[in-house]
Structure formats: C-alpha cells, structure tokens
Structure 1
Amino acid sequence: MADSTDSWVSGLPIQNPTSLGFVTKPIDETIKLIYLAGIHNIQVFTTKPTRILGTQADMATSIPTKNLCVKPQNVATSNRGQKKANGDEIFQMSDTGHQINSVWIWLVDVFELPDTADREQVTANLVKGLERALGDHPELMGTMHCDNETKRIVIKLPEGGSAALHVKDATAAEDQIPSFAWYDEHDYPVHRLERAHLIPAEASTLLMQVAADLDTPGPVVAAFQVTFIKGGVIISIAISHQVSDGFGVDAFMTTWAAYSKAATTGEEARLDANIPPHNLFTATTKPTPDEWEALRGKYPTMKYNTAPPPLLHADFVLPVVKTRVFHFPRSKLVALKAECSAGLPAGEFISTYDSVAALWWRAMLRAKRPLLKFDDSQPTHAILAVNMRKRAGKPISSRYIGCSVGIPHSDDVTVGQALGPRAEALPLLARTIRGATNQVTPEYIDGQMKWAAVGPDLRYNELNMPWFFGQDCMSFGWRDMNPYTSHDFGFGLPSGFRWPEMGFDNFLFVLPSRASVRGKGPDEGLEVTLGMEESYFPHLEKDEELLAFCEQRGLGS
C-alpha cells in the first residue's frame, strides 16, 4: 500500500483500509490502491491505466433534447412536508434512507413502438401521467440538502415546484442508440444502455453531491426521460437512493404507467388508494443512549461518519467494472436448487435466489483469486440487500416508494470452505445466505431504524461495503418486481427492464423474469447481472461450474 508521502496523492489524508473491511494484501505490483472513506461511496485511486464508463457516449454527437415542464394540477396526498415562511416545503427523509449512500437509482423500460406511432400524442399522455404521479409524490420534484441544525438530509420543494420530462428523438441516431430490434435481439445488454444518452444530465453522475445547506442549490431528487428509438421507446427514471430503492422506483413507474395509460384509453387507473409516506421506515421512538449502544455491532454495513470525507483527487478515475446479463434456464434452476438443498435439515428452506447467489459466490472467488491471491484461511461473507417491506410484520401498500433496505452481513465462511468440494460448499453457502436473510425480522428492522435515529450525524453516513477489489459476495434480489406485468404506459408492456450501464464490482442482481415476454420459450428462467472489475471478468466468462447452469446473453454486443 502507498503511504501518505506519495506525491501523486499529495495532501490527501489516507485512512487505514483495515478499518474499512477491505483487502490489504497487494493485488499486483503494478497497481497502487488507496481506499478513502467517502460520504457517498468508497473511492479508489489507481495508477493502472483505465477508462471511464460512458466516455464514448459523452464524446458522441449530442442528440437534441426537449425539456417539458411537468407540474401537477392537483396535489391531493396528505404526505406533505413542513411549510417554511418563504414558501419552501421541507420533507424529512426516513431513518433507513439516511443509511444509504447518496447516489441515484437508474432504471429503464424498453418498449416496442411502431415508427408510425404519433410520438407527440405518446409524449402528451406521458406528461399527463407524470403530472398525476408527481401529485401523489410531490417530494420527487424537490432537491437534496443538508439540514445543519438537525444534522440530517432533507428534501426542499420550492413553492410552485415542478419537474422536467426530457424527450429525445433518436430514431435517426442508431450509431449512438441502437434500434429496438437490435436491443431485443441482444437481450438488452446493460453496457449498451448508456446513461449519457438515457439519463438526464442532472442525475447521470455516479455520485450525488448533496447541497451543503438549505440555501445552496441542490441535486434533483428525481429525473425523467423518454427516448424514442427506431422501432421503440425507452422510458428512463432516476431517483435518489436515499429517498427510494429499487422496489420503490418500480412502484413509482407502475403509478406513472397506470396514469399514462388512463390518459391514453380514457379508463380510470386501478391503483391502491393508500399511499404511505416515503419516510415510513422511521423510528417511532428514539432509543436511550444505553439502548443505542446495545445496538452497536448488529448492523455492520451501516457506518457513521462525523465529518465530510476528503475531496476527490483531481486525477480520480473509477476502476472499470464489466457487467453482463446471464440467463439461468428454468430447468437448470431446479437442478441447482436441488444441489444446494442437499442435506438440508427438515423444516429448513433454501430458495432459488439462495442457490444462484451461492453459485455466484464461488465463481466470484475463483475469478478474483489469481490476482487478489487470498488464501484459504481468509474470511469471506455474503452481504445482501433485503426488501424489508415483506418482513416488517405488517402489510404495506404497493404504492410505497420509499427506501427500506436491510443489508445483513452473514457469518464468516473461509475461502477454503467456499471453494471446497462443490457437493459440500454449495449447500453451505446457500444456508449461509439464507441465514443472513433470516436476520431481517420485525425486531431487526425496528433496531435498524433506531440505530439510525440517534446517530451522531446523519449527513455523512455510508454503507460499509467492499465496493472494489473485495472478496465478499454482494447480492440483490429484484425477482419480485413487476415491470413486465405493470409498466403499461398505454402502448403495451416492456420487453426489457434494466439498470443502465450498471457498474458494481462483486454484485449479483437477480432481475425479474422475462418468461411472460413474447418470444420467450418454456424454459425461460431468471436473468441476472454479474459485475466485476474488468481484469477478472475473463476468468468469470470461462468458469465451467457457473456455465453449467447459465449462459451469457448479449454476446457480440
């Protein structure tokens, strides 16, 4: 590891990476890594030549964008903020939202749409739908700010606030954004859904810089875009992850879709009338200092900082993460689950998700071991994103768009155990993953909210996770999202649903099944994205055990 006297990082304070839970062994003699605790992410400096995701798109000829003002005619929801004397409305964020890094969630739906469709009318109906959806969730028209009196992050909505719907016509720009036919043929590869083209500029940066105070202009909470392509249309959305999560963004898209379809057909939208506030997961009572201390160590992925992090170095570049979509056929999922359930005690349960994550865990370690050179005695863990809606012990409306992510940390497993004989290792890892998920109970959720509620300073929280060059399995289950049945904006359901240009090292995302999409066969199972720093990806693509159960989609794209 480089020391603080290296001239290429002159003036930057360097923290002990051991305290951050990251690998400390040399990765390669040609690579220098410095891990800095960051307000929004773990920032990595490297002397290895690298390129930045999105550069090609950024350098391409700009596609003209039309920005339409969207202002709800009726804000009927009772979920309102605190009105200030100057007309600003201040919305409080949830306790669980404060535990998430300041980034956006980006999601896109890709639809077939004939080139003969009336794009002006399609756009007009989307505007009407978005107006009504924002009337249900006015906080999404606000901006993100630090409240330095309460030491929390809040949303500020100016009086008469509005949002913008960005509209691009890329039907004649196939050199930059492929046609619908191309996307459909290649199964919607995430690396060809480029955020420089599909996400509005105000929400397209990797990290969100929350405004330092209530008077400084802040980043938008949400951004919306419609991109017409040859033979289709892409609807894109970005929402602050501190305000929402993947399931919340899916829920908002369902609402926008229902209202847009109603504008198209004249039929009323069928939506649950119960709209919970986005900050639902907030502690109802504050713990005493002793009660708060008793929670210490139970939420190791939730980290508090009491001061802002050091600024990014001027030469900062992110390691390049390669992410591809893989498909697990239904028949092979059955076989994998059976293998992972071998020797399972009576009454215990292993899910398909547990099985896929266990397989990924082993494949990830095998791919990284030649370069990271970790030994059999070192620990490795599963770090999971768990949707707390279904584990809160009470029903929660499907209209809830807030952030309610539990991120349990599994018990230790050694690298030797994880990479041991397959017949022993796969069941062990699947049970370990299930055990981590089962940590998330109503009591766990109550404790997580209280752990945040009286934190010393909620402006600078972050997730304590190995963002790059780690050896932990990080897995997110989005299988229960409903884009392929609920995102009908008036011109049919999407045939592709993705996080565009996804770039998370060590991350597995289990996506909603496309089994209902036209043209998919009876063995259509689950799609997943596997992401890894590009140096390791060639090992992953040739992993025989992994490829015995899945195949890579979008080859040649």
Structure 2
Amino acid sequence: MGRKVTHQLQPLWFNGFKEESFRLSILDIVIPPNYNTYAIIFKSDNADETTVAETFKQAIDATLLQCRHLVGTVEKNQHGDYSIVTKPDSTVELVFHWLNGTGDDYPSYSELERQNFSSRCLGSAATLGIDGMPTARGPDDSPAIVGFQLNFIRGGFILTIHIHHFAVDMAGTTSLVRQIADNCSSIRYGTPPPSWDEAFMDRSRFIAPKIALEDQISPIPRPPRHPDWLPCSWLLFHLPPTKAAALKKLASPKDGTWISSYDALTALLWRVIARNRALVYRPVLKEPAIFGEPINMRSRCTPQISPRYQGNVLAAGLSHHQKSPLTLADVISDSSLPQIAAYIRAITDSVSEKTLDDTVARFAVVRDKSSLDVPLDSLPPMSFTTTDWRNFRLCDNDFGIGQPMAYRNITDTVVENMIVMYPPHKGNAGKDQGVEVVLPFEKQFVDLLINDPIMKEYFEFRGIDVEDP
C-alpha cells in the first residue's frame, strides 16, 4: 500500500568518531526483548510534504547525533551481558510512506479522529511501520535499537517509531520524542538547538559489580505460555472526567486513607474483569489474586534520576510480596472497592529504590542473561497487570509542523492480562475527553465485558482495538 522512499541515516559518519559502547544495566535486560511501536498522529490540512519530510529528516538526524546510543545494535560484551554498540558506519532507517495518493484507501485524518484513533482503524505495524522491523527480537540477534517511518495521509501524517525495549522504557521514549520535537522546532523557528546531557545515556548506576565465575548460577528456564489462555481482543474504553471524579469518590476509603485516581480506576477494572473472566475460566476463588504493575522509579531514587534519562528504570509492584494478599473472591465480591483501591496503593507504595537494588543483585549472579524476563502470558488467566501511560503526554510537544493529536502503541499481539491507560487524546474538539483504557478480554466473550452494567455506567466503549489473529 502506498509509495515508500527509504533513507539510511548515518549521523555518526564524521571523521574522528570511534566505536562507542553503552553497557546495558540489569534493569534493561530483565525487560521483554521486544520492539515497541508507537504511532504519533498529526493533524495538518495544508502541509507542504517536502518541508515536513525534510524537517523530520534533519531533526531525527540531529537527535541521533545527540542520543548516540540509539544508533547502535545490541551486542554481547566481555562482561557476559549486553551493550549497545555504535560505530561510525552505523545507520538508522527512516522511511517516508505516502498513503494519500490516488487509489490509496487508507483512512483520512478525519476518519481516524472519528474513530478515536483506534489501533484497528490505524492499521497494523506492517502498514505504518518499517518492513521487517519485528515485534520481538532477542539480544543475541544483534537487533537495531530504533527505526522511523513518516506516513503521509489525507489531512495529516503519522510518525511511527520502532524502539527496542532494552534501550528505553516509556519514560525514555517520551524523552526521545521530546528531543525530536525540540529539534524540529529549532529547525522550523530558527532557534538554537536543544541541549543534551550525556548523563541521560549513562546506565552505570544500575550496573552490578563483576561476579566471580564460581559464584554464578544458571538461569531458571523461561516459562512457556500458560496453556489455559483463550484468544483475546483488546477493547478501547473512554472514561469521561466527570465519571472519573465520581469513581474516585466511590473508591475512596471512608477512614480518609489517600488513594489516587489510578488506584480507583484500577480497582474497578480489576473487579469487573475478574468477575467476568471467572464466568469463562471458573477458577478456584480461594486462590490468591495475581496483580502486577511496572512503576517508573525515576522520582523515587535518591538522588532522583532525570525524567529525560533514556534507559529502563522500572520496578515491579507485585501482589505476592504483600503480607495479606487478596484472594480472587475478595477482588470479585468479598472486599469493598475502597479496600481494593487501598490494597493497590499499598502495592505501589511498597516499591522503593531498594527494590531496584535487589533486582540488580538477584540477576547479576545469573550466568546467561539472554532471557531474564518473565513473559506475562506465562501467568494464569485470572492474573491482572497494568501499564499506566497517563503522564507520558507525547502530544504536548511542539514540533513546529502540524499538531500531534494522539498516540498509540500499535501491535498485532494482544497481551492477555495487560491493561493500558492512555492520556486523553486531543481530537474531537469540544468533547469531554478523558483517560482511555485498553482492556484485554477473551474474544469469544467480549460482550460480557462490553455489556457489564458497571462498565456501561462509567465508560464509553470505543470499539475493538486489536484482535489476536
């Protein structure tokens, strides 16, 4: 579909640059070795495509000259783990893709906005992303860190970024997008280019001391997918601000214990999904309810780590670390919603910088570090995890060309037990835009969730986002 032109950017070609190695930390390589693919959607009715393309090309090139670690590939190092290696001849792929020509049937910007920028309307990574840029690629395959594709559509354009999760978490991706935006603005407005701090690439704080060979241990085998999972879809729901306020009031403990909007929203979704999934899987309700959340730890470290740091600084908040874990019966009906919200707050608050240090120490002794992550689909079907992107507002950046209106993580794979929280998008001006959530549910039974009375009371259903093939 459409016409493509590919450029191989070589930002580090200049004379005098030597090979550079950025050693990954334990916090990087316990992350699933997959590519995340983000689509940032711009509205631009009268864009000069030549100007837009040249501005992005110059801005991405300038950004990669600053964020040098993103130019390289993941390679095995002499320490027995992994580094990002950049060389003078390292390249990054930038593709221009025209989907607005005669005969192209890709939706216009207006149609994407009408459908609330759902991934189903946007299309797959195969349409908006670089040919052959996979969703998962292990560290021993020398994966490239990043690739870009700029897709021109009727009434706008979409910047697609593929980035390997070993390199950055979502906060790190937000830093990258801001740097690209600031370089775009510098080019368009003729202002000085943005600064860049070398410390944003320095992972040494979480690199463990060398472990003697005799003290190293073999890794636990990577667990397989749990056999009981049924194929799932991701469903897109919208929570209007007025409903969010009512929900937080409903979920707030009567003793005055503080909870966040996240706690209230998560408690309700955990209850509703668990109740409906219990109808599908018929679990033993006395079993512990499995809950997990990745937490951005930049502000919880001493001294704090800059939000611009491009790496992984995530800790896992886990239910099984709690002294009195809730059972499935508690989550489904026996505990009150305020009790569940307070429990989630306790999980979040239990994570500290020591959690990061313990993670580094635990995995530093593992001899083969090629597969340290625990796949979420290895957990049983009643498990529940979240990823909260409400504070990662990629569309608040001034690119100087067009206006970002929404972003999505586009994928062909549904993570069966992961909900994703997005900030409000900027489309549909005048509407009461609030948080959006992507919820997984078994594709044969999606009507159970869509027609749930509580979901219908608080949420607007915005369609099926992704379906497992």
Query: Which category describes the TM-score, using the shorter chain as reference length?
Result: 0.7 to 0.9
Deviation at 1:67, TM superposition (A): 0.8
Residues 1:438 and 2:311 aligned together = no
Of 95, 101, 105, 2:26 maps to: 95
Counterpart AA for 1:210: P
Residues 1:489 and 2:406 aligned together = no
Q: Is the 8 A contact 1:69 1:165 kept in 2?
A: yes
Deviation at 1:306, TM superposition (A): 5.6
Structure 2 residue matching 1:407: 3-state secondary structure = strand
Residues 1:266 and 2:190 aligned together = yes
Structure 1 residue matching 2:157: 3-state secondary structure = strand
Structure 1 residue matching 2:201: 3-state secondary structure = coil
Residues 1:166 and 2:105 aligned together = no
Of 114, 128, 136, 2:66 maps to: 136
CA distance in 1, matches of 2:310, 2:177: 10
Of 350, 353, 369, 1:458 maps to: 369
Counterpart AA for 2:219: N
Counterpart AA for 2:178: T
Residue 307 to residue 366, structure 1, CA distance change in 2 (3 Å):
closer
CA distance in 2, matches of 1:511, 1:288: 44
Structure 2 gap segments, 5+ residues each: none
CA distance in 2, matches of 1:512, 1:272: 27
Q: Is the 8 A contact 2:113 2:428 kept in 1?
A: no
CA distance in 2, matches of 1:263, 1:358: 45
Deviation at 1:320, TM superposition (A): 4.4
Q: Is the 8 A contact 1:100 1:242 kept in 2?
A: yes
Deviation at 1:269, TM superposition (A): 4.1
CA distance in 2, matches of 1:441, 1:497: 30
Structure 2 residue matching 1:234: 3-state secondary structure = strand
Identical positions, percent: 22
Structure 1 residue matching 2:458: 3-state secondary structure = coil
Deviations 1:55-114 (A, max 9, x none): xxxxxxx43321112222699xxxxxxx9xxx6433211210111111011111101122
Structure 2 residue matching 1:535: 3-state secondary structure = helix
Who is 2:132 aligned against?
A: 202
Residues 1:155 and 2:155 aligned together = no
Q: Is the 8 A contact 2:26 2:208 kept in 1?
A: no
Deviation at 1:172, TM superposition (A): 2.7
Residues 1:238 and 2:162 aligned together = yes
Residues 1:305 and 2:219 aligned together = yes
Who is 1:385 aligned against?
A: 294
CA distance in 1, matches of 2:221, 2:183: 43
Identify the range of structure 1 (335-344 vs 457-466) with the bigger mean alpha-carbon deviation.
457-466
Who is 1:299 aligned against?
A: none
Residues 1:339 and 2:253 aligned together = no
Of 305, 324, 327, 1:414 maps to: 327
Of 35, 59, 67, 2:6 maps to: 67
Of 221, 238, 250, 2:145 maps to: 221
CA distance in 1, matches of 2:422, 2:161: 17
Residue 555 to residue 409, structure 1, CA distance change in 2 (3 Å):
closer
CA distance in 1, matches of 2:265, 2:273: 12
CA distance in 2, matches of 1:181, 1:366: 37
Residues 1:474 and 2:385 aligned together = yes
User: Number of paired residues?
Assistant: 456
Residues 1:183 and 2:112 aligned together = yes
Identify the range of structure 1 (164-173 vs 447-456) with the bigger mean alpha-carbon deviation.
447-456
Counterpart AA for 2:174: D
CA distance in 1, matches of 2:292, 2:5: 41
Residue 264 to residue 382, structure 1, CA distance change in 2 (3 Å):
same
CA distance in 1, matches of 2:178, 2:380: 36
Deviation at 1:160, TM superposition (A): 2.3
- Normalised by the length of structure 1, the TM-score is 0.75
Deviation at 1:498, TM superposition (A): 0.8
Counterpart AA for 1:64: R
- Normalised by the length of structure 2, the TM-score is 0.88
CA distance in 1, matches of 2:103, 2:271: 39
- Whose RCO is larger (CA < 8 A, sep 6+)? 2
Deviation at 1:397, TM superposition (A): 2.4
Counterpart AA for 1:132: A
CA distance in 2, matches of 1:478, 1:339: 23
CA distance in 2, matches of 1:457, 1:68: 36
Deviation at 1:272, TM superposition (A): 6.0
Counterpart AA for 2:410: P
Who is 1:56 aligned against?
A: none
Deviation at 1:168, TM superposition (A): 0.2
Deviation at 1:286, TM superposition (A): 6.3
CA distance in 1, matches of 2:230, 2:53: 38
CA distance in 1, matches of 2:340, 2:243: 18
